[in-house]
Amino acid sequence: MRNTRHLVLSASLLVALTGCKSAPKSEAPAAPAGPTMETAKGPRIYVTDEVSGELTVIDATTMKQLEQLKIGTRPRGIHASPDGKTLYIALSGTPIGGPGVDESTLPPSDHSKDGIGVFDIAANKLLKIIPGGSDPENFDLSKDGKKLYVSNEDESAVSIIDIDSGKIDATQKMGAQPEGVKTSPDGSFVFVTSEAGGTISVLDPKTGKITATFPVGHRPRNVAFTPDGKTAYINAENDGTVTVIDVAKKKIVKTIELGKPGEVKPMFVLMSPDASKLYTSTGRGGKVVVIDTKTQAPVGDVAVGKRPWGIALSPDGSTLYTANGPSNDVTAVDLATMTVKAKAPSGGSPWGLVVLP
């Protein structure tokens, strides 16, 4: 009886095991696909990463990183062509120095890596590198988009580059450590800052000559013009100020203090689309300061990250983006509320940025 019961139970168990289908395994829901260059909609932010040698692309709507592209050695200055189809990127084979660095300990410069990268936005790739003079750091374009005016930091010079031919038309000596380059609104002259000299050199694009030099403060970095070209704003990094320049007279008419020198180190200046505001990144100050161009005084600021350098505006002018070098990210600031909306990771030490529709 015990054996019979055992056989029945065994048979029943076998039938149950062989007759039942195993339950399907539960599957985790598929993770939503991240944004790509093809799926991203709206403006894109293109960021030069000085240390990693990359161009980071960020979806400005979602603040998600789309791509990181190897672009060349030490990319810094970046500008778009007037038609928005091409990016030009300053590349340099000169090792990174800066305050507190003993340059005698640095490896020699490799000038074979110097140049201006030409990046096709639709194809999403670097097409070629054209000459940009020695150690190109920053630059601007002529109004017709045919010429580049490039600061050559280690040669204390500024070069004029013909884009189509890829040749240097002229190179002029100027004050030491040139950096910021800005073409006037009418294209008739170009301002180039001399960090070490504390001056502005005025370049005549037609003759290729420096026509004037005048003082603007200690370690000037960049330039912003009012739309009529009559006034220029230049940040003096070591003074912690922005100087207001009468362009016709080539003289300082006002000095705007942003904070204690050394604690606030203004790095970049940018005019709002309606010219009512000037935005200034403050480097180790960690903020962007807003200046009212009517009162010529600061009216607000917002903390954005570690050592903000380059800044740019969204196409509609409602959002400001900052490249924060040490924290390797980009911050989006809502200008209506002066609050940080979001941050996006970038590559190694973001330097400059451009925002395109």
The predicted model gives 310-330 an average pLDDT of 97
Residue 216's alpha-carbon distances to 27, 112, 283, in angstroms, are: 66, 34, 19
The predicted model gives 201-216 an average pLDDT of 98
pLDDT of residue 245: 98
The two three-digit tokens of residue 208, written as one number: 């290729």
Of 93, 84, 147, nearest to 115 by C-alpha is: 93
Longest dimension (CA), the chain: 119
Band (19; pLDDT cuts 50, 70, 90): very low
Of 304, 308, 302, nearest to 268 by C-alpha is: 308
SS3 243: strand
Using CA atoms, how far apart are residues 6 and 315, in angstroms rounded to an integer? 81
pLDDT digits (tens, 9 = 90+) for 293-309: 999 999 999 999 999 99
Residues 6 or more apart in contact with residue 296 via CB below 8 angstroms: 244, 254, 256
The predicted model gives 198-206 an average pLDDT of 98
Band (35; pLDDT cuts 50, 70, 90): low
Of 74, 95, 88, 230, nearest to 150 by C-alpha is: 88
pLDDT at 62 over 90: yes
Using CA atoms, how far apart are residues 233 and 230, in angstroms rounded to an integer? 10
* 78-80 sheet: strands from edge to edge: 78-80, 86-91, 115-120, 125-130
pLDDT of residue 75: 98
pLDDT digits (tens, 9 = 90+) for 327-350: 999 999 999 999 999 999 999 999
pLDDT digits (tens, 9 = 90+) for 91-114: 999 998 766 666 677 789 899 999
Using CA atoms, how far apart are residues 268 and 220, in angstroms rounded to an integer? 9
Half-sphere exposure of 125 (CA within 13 A, CB side): 3
